[in-house]
C-alpha cells in the first residue's frame, strides 16, 4: 500500500467523523483498522507519519487522553501572572475542549 492510498483512507474516515457521519462507537474500530494498514505502507519512512496521524486522532476520542488534552489546554490558555485575566478567546478555547470531551463521553 502506498502512503497516499493510506492517507486517502484516513482522510475519508477522519472527515466522516469530523462532520458527524461516523457514530462515536465506530471510531475506535476504524482507527484500529487503519492502524493495521500502517505496516503495509511501502514507504517505510512514512509509517511513523501514519502512526502519528492515528495517535493524534485517538487523542481526540479517547477519554483519558482527552482529559489530559483538556488539562493541557486549560493550563496553557488560563495561566496568567497574578492580576491578569484570560482573554475571551482563551476561555472559549477551554470551553470548546470541555464540550468536545463531554460530547465524546
Mean pLDDT of 54-63: 80
DSSP string, the chain: --HHHHHHHHHHHHHHHHTT-S-HHHHHHHHHHHHHHGGG-S-GGGHHHHHHHHHHHHHHH-HHHHHHHHHHHHHHHH---TT----HHHHHHHHHHHHHHHHH-
- Residue boundaries of the structural domains of the chain: 1-61, 63-105
Cell 486517502 maps to which residue? Answer: 8
Q: Considering Cα of 12, then 13, then 14, then 19, what sign does the dihedral take?
A: positive
Average pLDDT in the chain: 83
The model's pTM is 0.61
Confidence of residue 65 (pLDDT cuts 50, 70, 90): low
pLDDT at 4 over 70: yes
Amino acid at each position: 500500500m502506498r502512503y497516499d492510498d493510506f492517507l486517502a483512507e484516513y482522510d475519508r474516515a477522519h472527515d466522516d467523523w469530523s462532520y458527524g457521519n461516523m457514530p462515536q462507537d465506530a471510531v475506535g474500530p476504524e482507527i484500529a483498522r487503519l492502524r493495521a494498514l500502517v505496516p503495509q505502507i511501502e514507504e517505510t519512512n512514512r509509517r511513523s507519519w501514519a502512526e502519528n496521524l492515528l495517535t493524534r486522532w485517538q487523542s481526540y476520542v479517547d477519554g483519558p487522553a482527552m482529559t489530559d488534552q483538556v488539562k493541557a489546554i486549560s493550563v496553557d490558555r488560563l495561566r496568567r501572572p497574578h492580576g491578569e485575566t484570560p482573554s475571551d478567546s482563551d476561555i472559549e478555547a477551554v470551553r470548546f475542549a470541555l464540550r468536545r470531551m463531554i460530547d465524546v463521553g
